Chains A and B, each alone.
Chain A
Amino acid sequence: MNFYNDNKSLKFYLSHPVMDKIIKLKERDFVDSDNDMMAPVNVEDAIDNYDKVLEIVGDLAANVLEANAENVDHEGPQVLNNEIVYAKGTQKNHEVLRDAGLYGMSLPRKYKGLNFPYVPYVMAAEIVSRADAGFANIWGLQDCAETIYEFASEEIKEKYLPLINEGMTCSMALTEPDAGSDLQSVRLKASFDDEHNCWRLNGVKRFITNGDADIQLVLARSEEGTTDGRGLSYFLYDRRDNAVTVRRIENKLGIKGSPTAELVFNNAPALIIGERRMGLIKYVMSLMNGARLGVGAQSVGLAEAAYHEALEYAKQREQFGKAIINFPQVYEMLGLMRAKIDATRTLLYETSRFVDLYKAYDSVSKERSLTAEERQDMKYSQRHADMMTPMLKLFASEYANQIAYDCIQVHGGSGFMKEYKCERLYRDARILSIYEGTSQLQVVAAIRFIGNGSYLKRIEEYEAMPLAEELLPLRQRIVKMKENYLKIVEAADKFGTSSETYDFLARRMVEAMGHLIMSHLLLQDVNRSKELDNTEAPEFMNSCKIMIALGESEIAKILTFVENFKEEDLQMYK
């Protein structure tokens, strides 16, 4: 088994036309190809590298991580002598991925990374998550390296970044008992110790994944007397300083292999990342965007696993004299699973491409000044990354939950039993719509781009993209959907965009937009797949039509609701 090779969609997105630009930027037009033995010489060579490395990931995920997942779920981590000890399988997983060189994938080669763009890195995250979504957190926290690379001083970078590839683990400590969705109220105190010329951290963090990591990034209040986000800075704590107590680890519903810790910082020495006061407003926002992309990948990977489970079971299980997959209600569930996975995956890689472009420009800009055109492209990509990320997080995590739910449904009574994997997938899925910002907070982030018309502009761009003649009728249906979307927004706007009613209706508007985006993306995929004229290319037609049909009915439903809604209705819910 290989979780990369058995999924044609991944190769399909790896060869997306925009990859050409991304790779050239990321590789600085291949300047390293002469002096660095592993640097690619051209775009084709780079894609071949990603392909071959993902094959390693697919192999280890299918044959090591997947095989360990059940035991990891049962055994879980524990705290021994103030240290978090992983379940045996977790430790093995970590070692095997480290030995395969799969930590620090996106870091420049200079810091011992693989210099991979986000697209293949996110694919690796998807593949790892398909095997064990809980472990994907521990592995995925290598994202922290990206924040250090982007914002920390050269000294910190040189000291810490090369360690990531060697398997040093990371964590990001943001949440506190009284600061969850609202990170502006973080209280953990950072004060400067003149005598030792370092910062000192004091206070409590809660719900910290991999809390006992080697390298911990901590959001703390450095400006005494402040109460909002502008008083927060970002710090790096080195575990070797032994100044943090692991108070407990949580007993959770799912992702049981991933330790979630409560930590007490006891005058812990720390280095500041970047500038004071920029902790939340700049660095954490950037880190969170990366982490949300990670949860998107985790969601798609988990959903893929659930789909396979359900499909296999439905083919084998017979009732009323035939395999249950032959019942319309059962194959509808399976077809919808497939379509939702295809829809969120295409959104996942669309988002990753925007993230790639702006991060690559940002990185280039550290070496030379960008041309006016490049600056514009960078801004464009960043804005699109910012607006696609919450949409992705919202839909991918909610769909993963629906798919895990249906996976159990297809299994009937057996699905409710601990013997079947779908039970674990169902529990693991539940966190996806909560951490890295709940679904509600994704709506809060996305509604801005509804209000200022950014999403709509992107929709117009999709509408203008070249498309095969025979696909135009499908596009016409999405254009019709957009007309209903416009009516929804118009109706909501009447309440005033800063009204409580508008907030109440926000999720509906965002979801309607999500359907438009996913439908367009799938249609583009159908188009490119046809152009490739390659039997290896996945079909996207069924998923595309299913998602358009679903989108049409969802948007019609939302329109009815919003048009009938009155301000006084809010009272009914209170």
Chain B
Amino acid sequence: MNNKEFQIVVLAKQVPDTHNVGKDAMKEDGTINRAALPAIFNPDDLKALEMALACKDALKDIMPVKVTIITMGPSRAAEIIRESMFRGADNGFVVSDRRFAGSDTLATSYALSAAVKKLGKIDIVFSGRQAIDGDTAQVGPQVAEKLEIPQITYAEDLLYVAEDEIVIKRRLERGVETVKTGFPVLVTVHGNANDCRPRHAKLLMTNKKACSVSEVLERQQSMEDMEALWAKKPFLKIEEWNADDINPDFERLGLTGSPTKVKSIENVVLTSKENKKINNSESEINELMKELVSAHII
């Protein structure tokens, strides 16, 4: 058994559940009304977590492996760290500060990369391909650039992993590509990848009391009791980092670090402008097929 601990980080985000949108999901000004939507684990990030845990399963007999979650968001984002712990992650950090407010993908990836750096030597960083609230797919690749490490995007399957290399199948527009690389590497995981394993009963019972200081304060629990519990079971403390903790260049955080300027947001109601009735006859279906092929739809 190798003694060096293999370090895996998963970047995960808590997002509003945009698939279950009610009528009050958008505010008047066209921004998302986060309060009206339930917060969930970003779906692609759950798949990233699964790939991280699969690496851990594959490596844990040859060396110690640690899976750490980093999430940037409000203090309640600690929920997804607990959720990850129920499925096999070791612990996580909530990176939270008002000074991050208004971050675009550039500022977000800057803050995340600073947080990853703070952890020291990392072997693999996993992230989801994209978050369902922003849909940019930019954060993962930008973090890799800022960390100056190679990246594999659109990972669909983990084919092999060993102490010194990883083989990943990527999903491309017209096929798949198999890539092998050494460490460190950042991998963004595609929605086609394996579903995350279920919560494990034992991990749930072991970790259900994990929480952060902010959560203790919010729930108005006794801090003394929690301190006593954390002293006995340190893994139950979900650490929180503010902007100062990640040693950033403050200019690059939040609004000042975000070159993206939103000009206007429109509330778009999709309606079909054109519809066409096709009769169920050989010739009309043929016509439709031709049309679809020439428009490159199929």
Interface residues in chain A, defined as those with a beta carbon under 8 Å from any beta carbon in chain B = 34, 37-38, 40, 48-49, 52-53, 56, 59-60, 96, 99-102, 105, 114
Chain B, 200-232, CB within 8 A of any chain A CB: 200-206, 208, 232
In angstroms, Cα B54 to Cα A99, docked, is 12
Measured between C-beta atoms, what is the minimum distance from A513 to chain B in Å?
38
Q: Which residues of B contact A60 (CB under 8 A)?
A: 198
CB<8 Å pairs between A and B, sample of 5: A52-B204, A56-B201, A101-B202, A105-B201, A114-B205
Chain B minimum-CB-distance residue to A34: B232
Chain B minimum-CB-distance residue to A49: B205
Q: Which residues of A contact B202 (CB under 8 A)?
A: 38, 101, 114
In angstroms, Cα B201 to Cα A267, docked, is 40
- CB atoms of A53 and B204 under 8 A apart: yes
- CB atoms of A56 and B208 under 8 A apart: no
Chain A minimum-CB-distance residue to B229: A41
- CB atoms of B200 and A100 under 8 A apart: yes
- CB atoms of A99 and B197 under 8 A apart: yes
- CB atoms of B204 and A56 under 8 A apart: yes
- CB atoms of A96 and B198 under 8 A apart: yes
- CB atoms of B206 and A56 under 8 A apart: no
B198, B208, B232, B233: which contacts A52 (Cβ < 8 A)?
A: B208
Interface residues in chain B, defined as those with a beta carbon under 8 Å from any beta carbon in chain A = 197-206, 208, 232-233
Q: Which residues of B contact A99 (CB under 8 A)?
A: 197-198, 200
Q: Which residues of A contact B198 (CB under 8 A)?
A: 56, 59-60, 96, 99-100
In angstroms, Cα B203 to Cα A56, docked, is 12
Chain A minimum-CB-distance residue to B233: A37
A34, A48, A101: which contacts B200 (Cβ < 8 A)?
A: A101
Q: Which residues of A contact B197 (CB under 8 A)?
A: 99-100
Chain A minimum-CB-distance residue to B208: A52
Q: Which residues of B contact A96 (CB under 8 A)?
A: 198
- CB atoms of A101 and B206 under 8 A apart: no
- CB atoms of B205 and A38 under 8 A apart: yes
17 more CB-based (< 8 A) A-B contacts, given A37-B233, A101-B201, A114-B205: A37-B206, A38-B202, A38-B206, A40-B205, A48-B208, A49-B205, A52-B205, A53-B205, A56-B199, A60-B198, A96-B198, A99-B197, A99-B198, A99-B200, A101-B202, A101-B203, A114-B202
Measured between C-beta atoms, what is the minimum distance from B47 to chain A in Å?
16
Measured between C-beta atoms, what is the minimum distance from A46 to chain B in Å?
9
Q: Which residues of A contact B204 (CB under 8 A)?
A: 49, 52-53, 56
In angstroms, Cα B202 to Cα A291, docked, is 25
In angstroms, Cα B233 to Cα A53, docked, is 21
Q: Which residues of A contact B200 (CB under 8 A)?
A: 99-101
Chain B minimum-CB-distance residue to A63: B198
In angstroms, Cα B203 to Cα A53, docked, is 10
Q: Which residues of B contact A37 (CB under 8 A)?
A: 206, 233
Closest 7 CB pairs between A and B?
A101-B201, A38-B205, A100-B198, A38-B206, A101-B200, A37-B206, A53-B201
Measured between C-beta atoms, what is the minimum distance from B232 to chain A in Å?
8
Q: Which residues of B contact A49 (CB under 8 A)?
A: 204-205, 208
Q: Which residues of B contact A114 (CB under 8 A)?
A: 201-202, 205
Chain B minimum-CB-distance residue to A165: B202
In angstroms, Cα B285 to Cα A399, docked, is 53
In angstroms, Cα B210 to Cα A159, docked, is 34
Measured between C-beta atoms, what is the minimum distance from A45 to chain B in Å?
9
Measured between C-beta atoms, what is the minimum distance from B78 to chain A in Å?
17
In angstroms, Cα B199 to Cα A59, docked, is 10
In angstroms, Cα B206 to Cα A102, docked, is 15
In angstroms, Cα B197 to Cα A361, docked, is 36
Q: Which residues of B contact A38 (CB under 8 A)?
A: 202, 205-206
Q: Which residues of B contact A48 (CB under 8 A)?
A: 208
In angstroms, Cα B199 to Cα A101, docked, is 9
Q: Which residues of A contact B233 (CB under 8 A)?
A: 37
Chain A minimum-CB-distance residue to B236: A37
In angstroms, Cα B37 to Cα A159, docked, is 50
In angstroms, Cα B200 to Cα A100, docked, is 4
- CB atoms of A100 and B206 under 8 A apart: no
Measured between C-beta atoms, what is the minimum distance from B25 to chain A in Å?
22
- CB atoms of A100 and B201 under 8 A apart: yes
Measured between C-beta atoms, what is the minimum distance from B222 to chain A in Å?
15
In angstroms, Cα B203 to Cα A102, docked, is 12
In angstroms, Cα B199 to Cα A102, docked, is 10
Q: Which residues of A contact B199 (CB under 8 A)?
A: 56, 100
In angstroms, Cα B204 to Cα A53, docked, is 8
In angstroms, Cα B198 to Cα A162, docked, is 21
Measured between C-beta atoms, what is the minimum distance from B177 to chain A in Å?
28
Chain B minimum-CB-distance residue to A56: B199
Name the residue among B198, B204, B208 with the largest chain A CB count within 10 angstroms. Answer: B198
In angstroms, Cα B204 to Cα A59, docked, is 14
Q: Which residues of B contact A40 (CB under 8 A)?
A: 205
Q: Which residues of A contact B205 (CB under 8 A)?
A: 38, 40, 49, 52-53, 114
Measured between C-beta atoms, what is the minimum distance from B16 to chain A in Å?
21
Chain B minimum-CB-distance residue to A97: B198
Q: Which residues of B contact A34 (CB under 8 A)?
A: 232
In angstroms, Cα B203 to Cα A105, docked, is 14
In angstroms, Cα B232 to Cα A59, docked, is 32
Chain A minimum-CB-distance residue to B204: A52
Name the residue among A40, A60, A100 with the largest chain B CB count within 10 angstroms. Answer: A100
In angstroms, Cα B199 to Cα A49, docked, is 13
Chain B minimum-CB-distance residue to A99: B197
Q: Which residues of B contact A105 (CB under 8 A)?
A: 201
Q: Which residues of A contact B232 (CB under 8 A)?
A: 34
Q: Which residues of A contact B203 (CB under 8 A)?
A: 101
Q: Which residues of B contact A102 (CB under 8 A)?
A: 201
In angstroms, Cα B208 to Cα A114, docked, is 15
In angstroms, Cα B201 to Cα A102, docked, is 7
In angstroms, Cα B201 to Cα A40, docked, is 13
In angstroms, Cα B208 to Cα A48, docked, is 10
In angstroms, Cα B116 to Cα A416, docked, is 60
In angstroms, Cα B198 to Cα A100, docked, is 6
Name the residue among B201, B204, B206, B233 with the largest chain A CB count within 10 angstroms. Answer: B201
Chain B minimum-CB-distance residue to A54: B201
In angstroms, Cα B201 to Cα A56, docked, is 8
Chain A minimum-CB-distance residue to B198: A100
Q: Which residues of B contact A53 (CB under 8 A)?
A: 201, 204-205
In angstroms, Cα B202 to Cα A11, docked, is 20
In angstroms, Cα B200 to Cα A49, docked, is 12
In angstroms, Cα B229 to Cα A37, docked, is 12
In angstroms, Cα B206 to Cα A53, docked, is 12
Chain B minimum-CB-distance residue to A116: B201
Q: Which residues of B contact A56 (CB under 8 A)?
A: 198-199, 201, 204
Chain B minimum-CB-distance residue to A109: B202
In angstroms, Cα B205 to Cα A105, docked, is 13
In angstroms, Cα B136 to Cα A474, docked, is 65
Q: Which residues of A contact B208 (CB under 8 A)?
A: 48-49, 52
Measured between C-beta atoms, what is the minimum distance from B88 to chain A in Å?
10
In angstroms, Cα B104 to Cα A515, docked, is 67
In angstroms, Cα B202 to Cα A100, docked, is 8
Measured between C-beta atoms, what is the minimum distance from A6 to chain B in Å?
17
Measured between C-beta atoms, what is the minimum distance from A106 to chain B in Å?
12
In angstroms, Cα B203 to Cα A34, docked, is 17
In angstroms, Cα B87 to Cα A101, docked, is 11
Measured between C-beta atoms, what is the minimum distance from A18 to chain B in Å?
22
Chain B minimum-CB-distance residue to A52: B204
In angstroms, Cα B202 to Cα A53, docked, is 9
Q: Which residues of B contact A59 (CB under 8 A)?
A: 198
Measured between C-beta atoms, what is the minimum distance from A161 to chain B in Å?
15
In angstroms, Cα B232 to Cα A540, docked, is 44
In angstroms, Cα B208 to Cα A298, docked, is 30
In angstroms, Cα B195 to Cα A59, docked, is 15
Q: Which residues of B contact A52 (CB under 8 A)?
A: 204-205, 208
In angstroms, Cα B100 to Cα A342, docked, is 53
